Structure 1
């Protein structure tokens, strides 16, 4: 007989929003991280005091991609937190050692603009390059410790990962 895994203490996780920016072809925005050139990821970032998940997500989207809120449509969001733990080599280093990992609310956003509107040179720059990817390819290219979160978020957003 197996027992259920213990509940996570969510107070140990940094609150964050993750963004699945999906274009008309059903492809997902991915940026190559400046600090980890082998890692691609979707935009994400921590909450500022008093922000809702949507407010945080739209701010992070603008900061990381230059995409304005008028150029996206909210498709779906997760109500619950999806968490990941940092690997041992980052534990105690990332975010000043305050957090064990991140708890994320996820938003699926339809990109209504043109590729020329994406500008990853916003300061501080997070990505060295970007591209549209199929969900499966993005999951394969994400750092391994974030893979279960990406699998879960993209599974939930699967209905939107088709051409519109």
Structure 2
């Protein structure tokens, strides 16, 4: 789904047995929380990209979480002015759902993109995410509520 106008990426949703999801605070915007996400590398499948991004940004891997589902459609959003980089207009993303293997799992934020984490209810996370990503969060996470 990636194109010259939209960067192909993934989003990783990690939940626990209490129905909460892992949210991460952005280092560049304190108080702004989101899910791990990132671009798909050349030659990488979307699910491979999701596993890589999850491990790079949170330190979590197959011993900590298991893949349980994938949202069936790509979500697309445009970056607002000031966020756009180069000729790309925004991102097209595949969303993947993981379950923590136990509720004591603790991620390690990468310190570059994220500096804090917590287990949260989905509505709280949707309220905290940056405005231009909110429709994607509502669409995907609302479909699972």
| Fold agreement, TM-score > 0.5 | yes
CA RMSD of aligned residues (A): 1.8
Q: CA deviation at 1:89?
A: 2.4
Q: CA deviation at 1:87?
A: 1.0
Match of 1:42 in 2: 35
Gaps of 5+ in 2: none
Is 1:131 the counterpart of 2:118 in the alignment?
yes
Q: TM-score, normalised by structure 1?
A: 0.80
| Corresponding residue pairs, total | 144
Confirm or deny: 8 A CA contact 1:19 1:44 kept in the other structure: yes
Please, which of 63, 69, 74 is the counterpart of residue 56 of structure 2?
A: 63
Higher helix share: 1
The CA deviation string for residues 48-98 of structure 1, in whole angstroms up to 9 with x for no partner, is: 11111111111111111111123212221123210111112223xx3xx13
What is the alpha-carbon distance in structure 1 between the residues aligned to residue 74 and residue 4 of structure 2? 12
What is the alpha-carbon distance in structure 2 between the residues aligned to residue 136 and residue 79 of structure 1? 21
**Which stretch shifts more, 34-43 or 74-83?**
74-83
In the TM superposition, 1:56-95 aligns within 5 A as 56-91=49-84, 94=85
- Are residues 112 and 130 of structure 1, via their aligned partners in 2, closer, same or farther at CA, if it must alter by over 3 Å? same
In the TM superposition, 1:95-134 aligns within 5 A as 97-115=86-104, 117-120=106-109, 122=110, 125-134=112-121
Query: Helix, strand or coil for the counterpart of 2:43?
Result: coil
Q: TM-score, normalised by structure 2?
A: 0.90
Please, which of 137, 143, 151 is the counterpart of residue 138 of structure 2?
A: 151
- Are residues 75 and 142 of structure 1, via their aligned partners in 2, closer, same or farther at CA, if it must alter by over 3 Å? same
Q: CA deviation at 1:108?
A: 0.9
